[in-house]
Structure 1
Amino acid sequence: MLDQVRLRPSMWIRQGSLQDLQNILIGYATALSVHGVDEPFELSPGGPFSEWLRARLPELQ
């Protein structure tokens, strides 16, 4: 998924904001869950990246 965003960022993130990227990632994680796709998604809320980010940016808590 992120490889596609990297190839054409302006197509996926029109305003170039982190909020837009977050919305895409949440939608992707939701689609995986709804369709029962067992795919590791390390960028999901509560996932490894989220925990790493929270440890470094306490204001996100």
Structure 2
Amino acid sequence: MKTEQYIESRIAALDKLRKEALKEYETKLDNGIDDEELWQYISTKRVEIHTLKDILKD
């Protein structure tokens, strides 16, 4: 049960980081800057979130 709680809290933390980075990315795009590294970071966080959700399903 503690493992499940840890995973859920990790998912929430990763999602918060992803959302903050996405806002930063959108701001940069509005200013004409395409930050590929930031986009890769956002994508990596999304993959981590989905991986952890898959672990919870098992």
Say yes or no: TM over 0.5.
no
With normalisation by structure 2, the TM-score equals: 0.42
With normalisation by structure 1, the TM-score equals: 0.41
- Higher RCO (CA 8 Å, separation ≥ 6 residues): 2
